[in-house]
Amino acid sequence: MIKLLHVEDDADIREIAEMALSLSGEFDVVQCETGEAALAYVENYTPDIVLLDMMMPGMTGRQTLEKMREKPEFANVPAIFMTARAQHAEIDELLQIGAADVISKPFDPISLGDQIKAAMQKAGMTIAA
């Protein structure tokens, strides 16, 4: 099972994503509503991958990742951003700061799991069959 931490402030989108990721049965999903909650959670939990919404009240997805990266065990955890403002420049910038992928909203729930696995492989992770 792939341990995935999903940080998203919109409850409906969290539910859709959880349902979409449960389709393949390959993901063990933990969800947080804010960046702050996610940071508290990762004190005792290190996921295989983080799925971060960019625009959230309080800490943005980017700020959340920067804080997470301060923890040594988080240095190599791939992160995927989800954004409703997918500009080429912004996507490139996120990829440059180490994002494994950037998924535009609205996303396709059916292919979401595959997109995440592809990003993990691109980041050099081996996914157990």
Q: Is 19 in the site for another protein (CB under 8 A)?
A: yes
| Residue from 107, 113, 110 nearest 1 by CA | 113
Binding to another protein, residues 45-64 (CB under 8 A): 55
How far apart CA 55 and CA 110 sit, in angstroms, is 23
Q: Using DSSP bridges, classify how beta strands 27-32 and 79-83 pair: parallel, antiparallel or unpaired.
A: unpaired
110 binds another protein (CB under 8 A): yes
57, 71, 97, 108: which one contacts another protein (CB under 8 A)? Answer: 108
Contact stretch for another protein (CB under 8 A) within 18-26, 40-48, 94-102, 115-123: 18-26
If the CB atoms of residues 50 and 54 are measured against another protein, the closer one turns out to be 54
